[in-house]
Homo-oligomer: A and B are copies of this chain.
Amino acid sequence: MAIQQSIDNALEKTIGQHGIGADTLSAALARAGGALDWLRARHADGGLPLLRLPEKQDDLAVIRDAARRLARDATDVVMLGTGGSSLGGQTLAQLAGYAVPGVGALSAPPRLHFIDNLDPLSFETLLAKLPLKTTRFVSISKSGGTAETLMQTIAALSALKQAGVEAREAMLGITEPAKSGKRNGLRDLLGHHQVPMHEHDPGVGGRFSALTNVGLLPAAILGLDIGAIRRGAGAALAPVLANRKVADVPAALGAALAVALAESKSKTMSVVMAYSDRLERFTRWYVQLWAESLGKNGKGTTPVAALGPVDQHSQVQLYLGGPRDKLFTVVSVAGAGLGPRIDMELAKLAGEPELGGKTIGDLASAEARATTETLANNGCPVRTIHIARLDEASLGELLMHFMLETIIAAHLLGVDAFDQPAVEEGKVLAKKYLASA
């Protein structure tokens, strides 16, 4: 295991009344055992394709080959897709230097753009600015019917046509395989233009798709080892398949903690605070995963994304001084000794001699530890996840850990982790208002 979880600072015996009681946790763990049985059965019968991804290898060459062809002679690759069609890819790409907070792209070419929002000004300006002869577009929609993605794909097709570029040379689509009787707008649109299509696994929903071609294609474009991502995911799944004691399965322990604290101690929010720029997109991915999988039938807790140390200067005052309504997860990455080392003389000049000789990573690591302990000292429940080395394997493990934890939490809450019934009403209304625009 490349990631280490501890819930010591979330226990009643450690932090007092806002921690979880031993009996309550045991009861939740016992219920989580049923979810583990279910997961093992679905792994055995193939009923949940997500669980077979760690061992899947036959698609990796196809993904690598598509990435190579897309990246060849390309300056820019524009990923079109929203929600689950984008956040997994963004999370993986950030490991390679995509969208580093405050800095921008630190990755090797080509430049990646993940257009997951619909904004008239941004997309128009981007299309006008891109060198279209060396730009590739990847359009992703599981159902093929996502209005935002279809609009952007159509706008891209029109821009390519105007630039005299053949769509079939510049685009790729990822959507479900054709099914008789089921319309797929993206497949029809791109098929008409002879654009190559890859298949979105119909059994893996968008927010669980980071480890499929949806997330791995952009990762491969940036040169990441996608096999290692899958292997890392296997490390998070292994304790489930090994039929270990429930408390020794990290995803089950995390899920039991979150649900038991919500039900017994009214911790209605789940804050994930990651201490690494390269995990900032991960926190957004987590927000979708947790919110959309659990928020139904009046159930669910609200995920909150935070980044350390910066949010110590933004949200920590509320965490410590405000209501005790949150469970915290601090995700830290070993950083001691890393980054620029501080000159002794300059540290003295700044009146902070204790900074001299230390590195930026030393301070960031000390702050992650200090925040964890300060939260616990003030009676806030904290679960910690420590990553010794942030790379493809540990990130794959982290993503699978949270997908499993979410599925187990859904089991405990009695909701379906895989649907999103409430978003239809807004889509219908939007079409009505669009018609009158």
A352 contacts partner chain B, Cβ-Cβ < 8 Å: yes
Residue in B closest to A364 when the chains form the complex, CB atoms: B118
- Residues of B contacting A127 with CB < 8 Å? 340
Contacts of A150 in B (CB 8 A): 347, 350, 352, 355
- Name which residue of chain B comes closest to A425, CB basis: B374
Give the residue among A115, A318, A370, A373 with the most B Cβ atoms within 10 A. Answer: A318
A102 within 8 A of B: yes
Q: Count how many chain A residues have C-beta atoms less than 8 Å from C-beta atoms of the other chain.
A: 136
Min CB gap A154→B, angstroms = 4
Say yes or no: A155-B360 contact (C-beta < 8 A), given A113-B104, A145-B351, A350-B185. yes
CB neighbors of B among A351-373 (8 A): 351-352, 354-355, 358-367, 369-371, 373
Which residues, 62 to 88 on A, are CB-close (under 8 Å) to B? 82-84, 87
Name the B residues within 8 Å of A310 (CB-CB). Answer: 82-83, 116-118, 148
- Is A158 an interface position by the 8 A CB rule? yes
Contact of A296 among B148, B314, B317, B349 (CB under 8 A): B317
Contacts of A157 in B (CB 8 A): 343, 346
Asked if B339 and A322 make an inter-chain contact with CB atoms under 8 angstroms apart, the answer reads no
Are B123 and A340 neighbours in the complex by a CB distance under 8 Å?
yes
Is A315 an interface position by the 8 A CB rule? yes
Q: Is the CB of A304 within 8 A of B302?
A: yes
Stretch at the interface among A14-22, A230-238, A245-253, A415-423: A415-423
CB distance from A319 to the nearest CB of B (A): 7
A151 to B364, CA, bound (A): 11
Find A313's partner among B82, B296, B318, B361 (CB 8 Å cutoff). B82
A152 to B343, CA, bound (A): 11
A300 engages B321 (CB within 8 Å): yes
Q: What's the Cα separation between A352 and B268 when bound, in Å?
A: 40
Report, nearest first, the 10 A-B pairs whose CB atoms are least far apart. Answer: A120-B339, A295-B318, A83-B313, A295-B322, A120-B361, A370-B429, A366-B433, A288-B314, A320-B422, A291-B318
20 additional contacts (CB under 8 A) given A82-B309, A119-B276, A366-B431? A100-B125, A103-B126, A104-B104, A118-B360, A119-B339, A121-B278, A122-B278, A151-B342, A152-B360, A155-B342, A157-B346, A294-B318, A296-B317, A300-B323, A302-B304, A313-B423, A320-B422, A320-B425, A354-B434, A358-B437
